[in-house]
Amino acid sequence: MKHLFIKTFGCQMNELDSEKIAGVLSDLGYSLTDSPDSADMIILNTCSVREKAESKCYSDLGRLNELKKERPDLLIGVGGCVAQQEGTKIVKRAPYVDMVFGTDNISDIPGLLEKRREKAKNRVSTERRRKRVLLQDNSIVKSTVLRNHSVKALVNIVDGCDKFCTFCVVPFTRGRERSRKPEDICNEIRGLAASGYKEVTLLGQNVDSYGKDMGGGTGLAGLLEMISEIPGIERIRFMTSHPADFNDNLITAIAKLPKVCNHVHLPLQSGSDAMLDKMKRNYTYAEYKEKITKLREAVPDVTITTDIIAGFPGESDADFNKTLKALEEMQYDAAYTFKYSKRPYTPARTYEEQVTIDVKKDRLNKVIELQNSITLAKNKECEGKEFEILIEGESKRGSVSLTGRTRGNKIVHIQKQEGIFIGDIIQVRITFATFSSLMGEVVGF
Ligand code: SF4
């Protein structure tokens, strides 16, 4: 048995890609290890959404070069968005890399390894083949996904993105939108339910536009209804939504379908209409706010999270203050916050009026400080209340605790006790809340 170590950067789409990479390689006799030192193959599954993640990948490659000097048989692969974007440039920059494969080429890994064996000393790289849609064939999915969790699973429903926000490299790395057929998705989820999975998260760069490339028909709301019918699946999540496509049908589906969890991740990015326009987001803050108001009316206990970019080109103090005001008004449960960074191919990298790094840092700190106080207050509101949680595994805090999540996606730690197992759905009362998680006591199982 050979050992494989995968380091995953970036989003849940990349996590799912890593599970597929592990699946393909398990068919070739590789089993996963947590230790790069004992690995026969190391794969960096990269993210190019932010400059920081991309440079981290190159600095990791530098360290792997040292490891490879000590162990020349070690195989090094680079996958994911940086690989899709950079292609053979990676091998030029890091000639010790043995294979490069993009997000569309995971199924080519066995062929790449075979070529490498044939040409022992030559490096290989796949061409970009954005049109190839690995997931259209459900039989491939079943045989190639080696899942990280035993009770919750990531399921890709649409790949790529047609939105072309001016700061985002995703349409260039993952290509245009390609939705999977509803029957393929449901078959995959039926298989997951049969294997004991209780929760699925439907993934896409923009899940709200699911089905548009197939001529409409089943949209995300329709798909949620279909998946709700699958016995054994108790919870359905989806991400990421786009405010321009997030619609009344979806709000109704979340409100009326009991299995659909009460959590929506709806990236705002900025509270300034001028910035939203420059970002080509296709909504105003007022339109965004109206959708959130409707969502909260229909689903009063909904958890809402967002993404915020600080220091987009041309962002004035007044624009930035509108973002702070939006955070106050929206009262998000959590926010993923980023400094703007120039990405390849994107229009915003050429915009004049780039904000200085010091101003970006300062604004990011202000956003984080404000949101942290809101997140803590929202978590404190949970104290004394009861929630249903799905037990996902042992807590990282130690072997005496278990960790689960509420339907609103908040992490809850409980003391281990007899009769409670991973995969159980139990009722807890929150005894204490911190910024990052909740502590609970069991009140029913
Ligand atoms: S919606 Fe915009 S930010 Fe999201 S993946 Fe598409 S282009 Fe990128």
From the list 348, 305, 354, the residue with the least C-alpha distance to 168 is 348
Are 295 and 165 part of one and the same domain? yes
Domain edge (last residue) among 357, 380, 403: 380
Amino acid at 214: M
The answer to whether the CB of 428 is under 6 A from ligand 1 is no
> 181 CA to middle of ligand 1, Å?
22
CA of 164 from ligand 1 middle (Å) equals 6
Residue ending a domain, among 125, 144, 164, is 125
Q: Does one domain contain both 372 and 413?
A: no
Pair 92, 19 in one domain: yes
Q: Which atom of ligand 1 is nearest to the CA of 174?
A: 5
Kindly report the pTM of this predicted structure: 0.88
Q: Note whether 166 and 311 are same-domain residues.
A: yes
CATH assignment of the domain containing 62: 3.40.50.12160
Closest CA to ligand 1's atom 5: 205
Q: Which residue in 127, 125, 212, 123 sits closest to 163, CA to CA?
A: 212
Same structural domain, 303 and 433: no
Is 168 a pocket residue for ligand 1 (Cβ < 6 Å)? yes
Q: Per the structure block, which two tokens stand in for 429?
A: 């009362």
**C-alpha separations of 349 from 80, 121, 279, 356 in Å:** 22, 38, 11, 13
The domain boundary, picked from 380, 399, 423, lies at 380
222 shares a domain with 356: yes
Indicate whether residue 242 lines ligand 1 (CB < 6 A).
yes
- Ligand 1 pocket, residue 64 CB under 6 Å: no
* Model confidence pLDDT, tens digit, residues 102-145: 888 898 999 999 888 877 654 445 544 433 333 333 333 445 68
CA of 161 to the centre of ligand 1 (A): 6
Ligand 1 centre distance from Cα of residue 245 (Å) = 12
| Residue 432, φ and ψ in degrees, nearest 5 | -155, 140
Q: Which residue do the tokens 């393929």 mark?
A: 184
Q: Do residues 279 and 410 both lie within one domain?
A: no
Q: Which CATH number fits the domain that encloses residue 360? A: 3.80.30.20
**Segments of the chain with pLDDT less than 70:** 120-144, 398-399
| Token pair for 157 | 């429903």
What pLDDT was estimated at residue 392?
95
Do 169 and 146 have their domain in common? yes
Q: Report residue 310 as tokens.
A: 């600080």
In tens, the pLDDT along 279-301 reads 999 999 999 999 999 999 999 99
| CATH number of the domain encompassing residue 425 | 2.40.50.140
Q: At how many degrees (to 10) do helices 182-194 and 220-228 cross?
A: 30
Contact between 417 and 442 (Cβ < 8 Å): yes
Q: How many domains does the chain have?
A: 3
**Which residue's CA is the closest to the ligand 1 atom numbered 1?**
163
Query: In terms of residue numbers, what domain contains 419?
Result: 386-444
Q: From the CA of 240, give the closest atom in ligand 1.
A: 4
Spatial distance between the Cα atoms of 370 and 379, rounded to a whole number of angstroms: 14
Q: Is the CB of 343 under 6 A from ligand 1?
A: no
Establish whether residue 269 lines the binding site of ligand 1, counting it when its CB lies within 6 angstroms of any ligand atom.
Answer: no
- Tell me whether strands 438-444 and 425-433 are parallel, antiparallel or unpaired: antiparallel
- Report the C-alpha gap between 17 and 160 in whole angstroms: 13
- Indicate if ligand 1 lies below 6 Å from the C-beta of 206: yes
Q: Please indicate, yes or no, whether residues 26 and 167 belong to a single structural domain of this protein.
A: no
3-state secondary structure of 258: coil
Please check whether residues 309 and 327 belong to one and the same domain: yes
pLDDT of residue 127: 43
Q: Tell me: do 33 and 76 sit in the same domain.
A: yes
Find out whether the beta carbon of 278 lies less than 6 Å from any atom of ligand 1: no
